[in-house]
Amino acid sequence: QQSSSHQVAEKNQAPTITLIGAGLVGSLCAVLLAKRGYNVVIFERRADMREQSMSAGRSINLALSNRGIHTLKQADLMDQVEPMLTPMRGRMIHDLNGEQHLQPYGQRAEEVIYSVSRGDLNKLCMTAAEAYGNVTIHFNSRCDAIDFDKQQLTIYNELTEQNEQHSFEQVIGTDGSASSVRNAIHARHSQQNIVEPLGHGYKELSIPPDSEGNFQMEPEALHIWPRGGYMIIALPNKDASFTVTLFMPNEGELSFDSIDNKNRLQQFFKQQFSDLIPLLPNLETEYFNNPTGRLATVRCNPWHYQDLALLIGDAAHAIVPFHGQGMNCGFEDITELMAQIDQHNNCQTAQFNWQAVFSETDKLRQPNGNAIADMAIENYIEMRDSVNDPKFVLQKELAFE
Ligand code: FAD
């Protein structure tokens, strides 16, 4: 079915945009749509994170850069976000022998990136969206199917354990790397819909503050322990702790599979990350209890379906996290989407050309999504290997007893 690309809504009645997913990109997108007068309905699979404690071990903090800050400024949120930020002025490289070297990101004081709590930023965006009064978030509501002919969503309500049917006018997939909206679009029309596993995963650990509540390492840096086929990074948190992420192959001689007991774990850390051992009091508990995240790149084309559906954020372009740009790139998608809405739609005269909005956003953002996907994989090699000075990398094979 080819829907009309020029919809004329009743005067004074703004259209309703449906978002699937109230993650970082969905909730910030809702703020900017609401600011323009659109009604927004979001279906979010999870419970409301503002009423729950965050699950441990899932990407607690993120690097926010100028690209993402630009969109937060457009949403008038930077005043609230700023107190949540810890500046990181460069990469602090940790050698095998425990020596540290700072590689500044730039010469000028403003050339920094920021560490921010994923949960706090997400909560802030949700609350800011709801404050407009024209945004409704339905939690515990998982989108399972989309019927584009009937313009209907099948939503599974986790609380009632029932399927519900909801109609939609336009739907935007902000439902992350395993996007149901992407699958629905590509069931209709697909040139490419590939999930490329990296073969490496990640595990989150933590460095608590010292006994006086202070940081145990330089706070204003992104710390890296490059070690060839694997590496550790650490980002500061506002409470003087660090979130530490170990990246390593999923399978093979030295991998999450092979380091499967306390003895091997201790041996691995003693040989490769000995300076970290005193800083990780819960290493064993966290390593064996926290989930191992799998990393993959999503490449798909198209990112839209007629004038009915669009993908943005990880739903369109999940990337591996080694440039710290996944969220930033998703926020940039929102900026472009809003520019296209401003160009092709007019709420005052009730003229809406969603076909142009969606196809132009797709056309302009796809090359960027593909470029950052490639750069992110290259940067993994740069971060773990090409910092290839022998002093970073243990030359002999690590053998377990
Ligand atoms: P998500 O954050 O995945 O949100 C999707 C939302 O949709 C979730 O709330 C989910 O519950 C919901 N959902 C999913 N399926 C459905 C469904 N069927 N129905 C309803 N709701 C659904 N990016 C950076 O910019 N900087 C960094 O430093 C950085 N570090 C990272 C470190 C790690 C270890 C990882 C894994 C990623 C990192 N990223 C980073 C990437 C960043 O996390 C993602 O790009 C970002 O979360 C994408 O936001 P999103 O809203 O598109 O998707």
Distance 12 CA to ligand 1 centre (A): 35
Q: Which residues, 6+ apart, have CB-to-CB distance to 381 below 8 Å?
A: none
Distance 20 CA to ligand 1 centre (A): 12
- Point out the ligand 1 atom lying closest to the alpha carbon of residue 155: 19
Distance 118 CA to ligand 1 centre (A): 9
Are 312 and 330 spatial neighbours (Cβ–Cβ below 8 Å)?
A: yes
Per-residue confidence band for 172, with pLDDT thresholds at 50, 70 and 90: very high
Are 123 and 49 spatial neighbours (Cβ–Cβ below 8 Å)?
A: yes
> Cα–Cα distance between 10 and 347 in angstroms, integer?
10
Instruction: Write the CATH number for 38.
Output: 3.50.50.60
Residue to probe by mutation, ligand 1, list 175, 183, 245, most atoms within 8 Å of CB:
175
From the CB of residue 261, how many other CB atoms can be counted at a distance below 10 Å?
12
Are 229 and 236 spatial neighbours (Cβ–Cβ below 8 Å)?
A: no
Look at residue 389 and tell me if it is in a domain.
no
Q: What digits encode the pLDDT tens for the residues 328-341?
A: 999 999 999 999 99
Look at residue 245 and tell me if it is in a domain.
no
Indicate if the pLDDT at residue 75 is higher than 50.
yes
Are 203 and 295 spatial neighbours (Cβ–Cβ below 8 Å)?
A: no
Tell me the residue type at 180.
S
Distance 389 CA to ligand 1 centre (A): 34
Instruction: Evaluate: CB of 155 within 6 angstroms of ligand 1.
Output: no
- 16: nearest Cα among 54, 52, 42, 53: 42
Are 122 and 77 spatial neighbours (Cβ–Cβ below 8 Å)?
A: no
Look at residue 211 and tell me if it is in a domain.
no
Look at residue 243 and tell me if it is in a domain.
no
Please report, for residues 53, 111, 376, the alpha-carbon distance to residue 295 in angstroms, rounded to integers and kept in the order given. Answer: 24, 28, 11
- List the domain range (segments joined by +) for residue 30: 7-86+114-196+296-384
Indicate if the pLDDT at residue 391 is higher than 50.
no
Number of domains in the chain: 1
Look at residue 216 and tell me if it is in a domain.
no
| Phi and psi torsions of 94, nearest 5° | -105, 115
Per-residue confidence band for 397, with pLDDT thresholds at 50, 70 and 90: very low
Look at residue 11 and tell me if it is in a domain.
yes
Tell me, what's the pLDDT at 133? 96
Look at residue 62 and tell me if it is in a domain.
yes
Question: Whole-number mean pLDDT of the chain?
Answer: 91
Peptide bond into 197 cis (omega under 30): no
Per DSSP, 385 falls in state: I
Q: In a 3-state reduction of DSSP, which class is residue 391?
A: coil
Look at residue 99 and tell me if it is in a domain.
no
3-state helix vs strand vs coil in the chain, percent to 5: 35, 30, 40
> Cα–Cα distance between 78 and 82 in angstroms, integer?
6
Tell me, what's the pLDDT at 109? 82
> pTM here?
0.93
ipTM: 0.99
Q: What digits encode the pLDDT tens for the residues 312-323?
A: 999 999 999 988
**What region, left, alpha or beta, does residue 59 occupy, with left being phi > 0 and alpha being psi -120 to 50 degrees?**
left
> Cα–Cα distance between 117 and 256 in angstroms, integer?
26
